[in-house]
Amino acid sequence: MSESVVIAGMCTDRLSRIATHIDQAYIQPGKLPGALTLVARHGKICWLHAQGQMDVERNKPIQRDTLFRIYSMTKPITSIAMMQLYEQGRFLLDEPVHKYIPSWQNLRVYKAGLHPQYLTTPTTRPMTIRDLLTHQSGLTYGFMNRTNVDAAYRSLKLDGGAGLTLERLVDELSHLPLEFSPGTAWNYSVATDVVGYLVQVLSGMSLGDYFAKHIFAPLSMQDTFFTVPQDKLSRFAACYQYQPGDRFSLQDDPQDSSFAKAHGYLSGGGGLISTIDDYYRFAQALANGGAYQGARIIGRKTLEFMRLNHLPGNQDLPGVSVGAFSETPYEGSGFGLGFSVKTDVAKSHTNGSIGEYGWGGMASTNFFIDPVEDVIMIFMTQLIPSSSYQIRQELRAIINGALVD
């Protein structure tokens, strides 16, 4: 393309560096199977490019309609669902979680011991709904491999697995200690799965039905679901696992994936499958202040509230985080109600704007919205873990370099 082609103030020739970089640095050397990247500005898609394969074993190329495991990119959708109910006056953010989950009345904090024999202390205050939305709840993830508490999550298979339901998750968590007293630290956790459970409690609907009625149908998201329908299975990508030496191996075959079978665990923290166009409709609704093509899913003022930094004292994540994670850089980023929020561009070491918000998923998918430049980026691939490579920061550098007005 010529340098002079500009769409919505973005130079397409400069955006084409995305494809060149991903091909030369990742696909050709065998680091990634393939990728699908979308960049939009002012409500127009400026760049959309598929490259590489969605299923290496079957030699199937990535297509625009390929279905991806978005894992933790489910979290912003669940958070929007919860805040829809907030807008209806169904709950307040400072209410204790035990108001809606009575078995959580007497949660305690880990001090010593191994599952199931723990020494614990009382919490300094009850866990609130805002603690869940901001990952300041004291809950954790089993895959953190950091503490005796997350070891219990692993032994109980609370990160997802055969037979797990939201009801069982909530019941098991009522018996386990917290990593810390709510509100005193930040730790990536199953908290958003608990938010999904609260959506069910407050709405009287299953999480899948709630999403379908109040988010997916209004936005015409026809390819987003907890279970891949049989007639769409041919579009479902394989998922790969990073191997030492910058290689990858098959982690989840789409033909016998648990995502392709009916299951009882509706994970608001990481359970959805989606396409780049569906997720774009969701992201564009957020970029537009809560509405897309005449359908409003959240109020403008509510969304502004969600993308504030809700960490105490306006700190960034290094000041409050106790566990490592890779869905956003730590420095210069705070956390809102369901998204990371950039608070300091220079401190983040990555080009961007104050107020940029978004999140990523375990299989290296990512999205961000820059409200200052009115830019959206969505990146789809399927490589676990998301910490394998620094693609997210490289994409930000290329995309911001394509802004010409």
| 252 and 212 co-located in one domain | yes
Structure confidence at residue 161 (pLDDT): 75
Q: What is the pLDDT of residues 219-233, one digit of tens each?
A: 999 999 999 999 999
| 190 and 237 co-located in one domain | no
In a domain, 405, yes or no: no
Structure confidence at residue 262 (pLDDT): 87
Cα 27 to Cα 52: distance, rounded to the nearest angstrom? 7
CB 56 within 8 A of CB 370: no
Partner residues linked to 117 by β-bridges: 114
Q: What is the pLDDT of residues 46-99, one digit of tens each?
A: 999 999 999 999 999 999 999 999 999 999 999 999 999 999 999 999 999 999
| 65 and 98 co-located in one domain | no
For the chain, what is the domain count? 2
| 211 and 359 co-located in one domain | yes
In a domain, 1, yes or no: no
| Strand pairing report for 239-243 and 117-122 | unpaired
Q: What is the pLDDT of residues 118-163, one digit of tens each?
A: 999 999 999 999 999 999 999 999 998 899 999 999 999 998 877 8
Structure confidence at residue 1 (pLDDT): 43
Cα 38 to Cα 285: distance, rounded to the nearest angstrom? 15
In a domain, 233, yes or no: yes
Last residue of a domain, one of 203, 232, 260: 203
CATH number at residue 277: 3.40.710.10
Structure confidence at residue 7 (pLDDT): 98
In a domain, 337, yes or no: yes
Q: What is the pLDDT of residues 8-38, one digit of tens each?
A: 999 999 999 999 999 999 999 999 999 999 9
Cα 386 to Cα 383: distance, rounded to the nearest angstrom? 7
| 182 and 254 co-located in one domain | no
Q: What is the pLDDT of residues 277-319, one digit of tens each?
A: 999 999 999 999 999 999 999 999 999 999 999 999 999 999 9
Last residue of a domain, one of 171, 203, 235: 203
Q: What is the pLDDT of residues 269-278, one digit of tens each?
A: 999 999 999 9
In a domain, 333, yes or no: yes
Cα 101 to Cα 2: distance, rounded to the nearest angstrom? 59
Question: Phi, psi at residue 68, to the nearest 5°?
Answer: -120, 145
In a domain, 361, yes or no: yes
339-134-382 Cα angle (round to 5): 45
Cα 315 to Cα 309: distance, rounded to the nearest angstrom? 8
- Please tell me the pTM assigned to this model: 0.97
Last residue of a domain, one of 152, 171, 203: 203
| 396 and 276 co-located in one domain | yes
> The domain containing residue 283 runs over which residues?
6-83+206-400
User: Which of these, 375, 391, 359, lies nearest to 71 by C-alpha position?
Assistant: 359
Percentage of the chain exceeding pLDDT 70: 98
Cα 382 to Cα 388: distance, rounded to the nearest angstrom? 11
| 67 and 111 co-located in one domain | no
pLDDT at residue 3 above 70? no
| Strand pairing report for 383-384 and 239-243 | parallel
Alpha-carbon distance values, 91 to 79, 129, 206, 300 (Å)? 14, 9, 18, 19
| 14 and 125 co-located in one domain | no
Kindly report the three-state secondary structure assignment for every residue of the chain: CCCCCEECCEEHHHHCHHHHHHHHHHHCCCCCCEEEEEEEECCEEEEEEEEEEEECCCCEECCCCCEEECHHHHHHHHHHHHHHHHCCCCCCCCCEHHHCCHHHCCCEEEEEEECCEEEEEECCCCCEHHHHHCCCCCCCCHHHCCCHHHHHHHHCCCCCCCCCCHHHHHHHHCCCCECCCCCCCECCCCHHHHHHHHHHHHHCCCHHHHHHHHHHCCCCCCCCECCCCHHHHHHECCEEEEECCCEEEEEECHHHCHHHCCCCCCCCCCCCEECHHHHHHHHHHHHCCCEECCEECCCHHHHHHHCCCCCHHHCCHHHHECCCCCCCCCCCEEECCCCEEECCHHHHCCCCCCCCEEEECCCCCEEEEECCCCEEEEEECCEECCCCCCHHHHHHHHHHCCECC
| 18 and 72 co-located in one domain | yes
In a domain, 321, yes or no: yes
| 277 and 393 co-located in one domain | yes
CB 257 within 8 A of CB 233: no
Cα 33 to Cα 66: distance, rounded to the nearest angstrom? 13
Straight-line distance from the first to the last Cα atom of the chain, in angstroms, rounded to the nearest whole number: 19
| 190 and 215 co-located in one domain | no
Partner residues linked to 40 by β-bridges: 45, 376
In a domain, 357, yes or no: yes
| 254 and 344 co-located in one domain | yes
- Strands of the sheet with 383-384, listed across from one edge: 247-252, 239-243, 383-384
